[in-house]
């Protein structure tokens, strides 16, 4: 099976790509010419790569027989201060182009990466839901299977330190101050390797799906508060956080409890998370400890 993968150089992509290669899939990746490939440098020669800022994406479909598209590329808005015009390209325009080309070139399925959060919570989730409405139209009107992976909070090694868990770990290890809300929000934290297994299960079971649109909620099914999470990280790191609880207000439309209903994933994919929060956090903290000792850090 030939898989076209976007976002291969990102956090989730850096973990999923080796899993896809190990399973024997032939991988074509779309990246930008200036993308940092440090997460996938050991696998880069095993894939076919195209720089989407240098080519017409249509040529990728003309040159290759593509069976499945996995869309991971995204813009969370954190690095560009929620610039909506910049967020539209990876979150709506690019996947829409790929979905349209996928229909024209008769791919088997489009596997999308979505968020579980409500569109009122952030501009990121609003743009992701915008593309989802487009995808529902395609799934209803064309011969293409669309699988939506609605992810809870993923964490693990080699993530971007603008994300919550890496940010907290790095600041604890460096003993720098963290300004926080009261920390009462509860989130469903899922280890990245369990998320990778979910994607691989979807690919393995594609032929068995009898619906053109399916959505799987991917998380642990359990939530804990941010305050409890940071306490766990402190214990694993062996250091107390210099944290100012209540120093910043809650967001407007704050979500105070988010957790996945993974019943459909259990039923149709025979999937469920296997990594405990303690094990996943230990792996993550230990990786960041190693990076802190290096100059400069690689994230």
With 0-12 / 13-18 / 19 or more C-beta atoms within 10 angstroms meaning exposed / middle / buried, residue 213 is middle
Contact assessment for residue 135 and residue 129, using Cβ atoms and an 8 Å cutoff: no
Q: How far is CA 102 from the centre of its chain?
A: 21
Structure pTM? Answer: 0.95
Q: Which one, of 276, 112, 243, lies nearest residue 176 by Cα?
A: 243
Q: What confidence score (pLDDT) does residue 292 get?
A: 81
H or E element in which residue 155 lies: strand 153-155
Contact assessment for residue 44 and residue 21, using Cβ atoms and an 8 Å cutoff: no
Q: What confidence score (pLDDT) does residue 293 get?
A: 64
Place of tokens 């149709």: 268
Give the whole-angstrom CA distance, residue 40 versus residue 12.
11
Kindly list the averaged pLDDT for each block of 10 residues, start to end, along the chain of length 299.
Answer: 98 98 98 97 98 97 98 92 93 98 98 93 94 97 97 97 94 95 97 98 96 98 98 97 96 94 98 98 96 61
Half-sphere exposure of 265 (CA within 13 A, CB side): 27
């Amino acid at each position: 099976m030939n898989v076209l993968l976007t976002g291969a150089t990102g956090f989730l992509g850096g973990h999923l790509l080796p899993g896809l290669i190990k399973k024997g899939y032939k991988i074509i990746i779309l990246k930008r010419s200036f993308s940092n490939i440090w997460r996938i440098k050991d696998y880069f020669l095993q894939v076919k790569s195209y720089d989407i800022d240098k080519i017409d994406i249509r040529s990728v479909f003309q040159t290759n027989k593509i069976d499945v598209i996995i869309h991971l590329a995204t813009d969370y808005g954190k690095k560009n201060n929620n610039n909506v015009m910049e967020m539209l390209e990876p979150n709506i325009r690019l996947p829409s182009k790929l979905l349209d080309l996928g229909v024209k070139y008769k791919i088997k399925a489009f596997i999308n990466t979505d968020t579980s959060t409500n569109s009122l919570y952030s501009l990121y989730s609003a743009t992701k839901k915008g593309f989802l409405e487009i995808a529902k139209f395609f799934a209803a009107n064309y011969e293409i299977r669309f699988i939506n992976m609605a992810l809870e909070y993923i964490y693990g090694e080699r993530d971007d330190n603008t994300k919550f868990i890496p940010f907290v770990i790095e600041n604890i290890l460096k003993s720098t101050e963290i300004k926080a809300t009261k920390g009462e929000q509860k989130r469903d934290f899922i280890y990245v390797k369990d998320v990778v297994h979910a994607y691989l299960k979807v690919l393995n079971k594609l032929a068995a799906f009898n619906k053109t649109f399916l959505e799987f909620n991917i998380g642990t099914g359990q939530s804990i508060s941010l305050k409890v999470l940071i306490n766990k990280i402190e214990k694993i790191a062996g250091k107390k956080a210099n944290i100012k609880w209540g120093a910043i207000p809650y967001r407007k439309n704050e979500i105070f409890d988010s957790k996945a209903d993974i019943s459909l994933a259990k039923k149709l994919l025979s999937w469920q998370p296997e990594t405990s929060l303690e094990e996943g956090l230990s792996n993550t903290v230990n990786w960041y400890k190693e990076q802190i000792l290096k100059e400069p850090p690689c994230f």
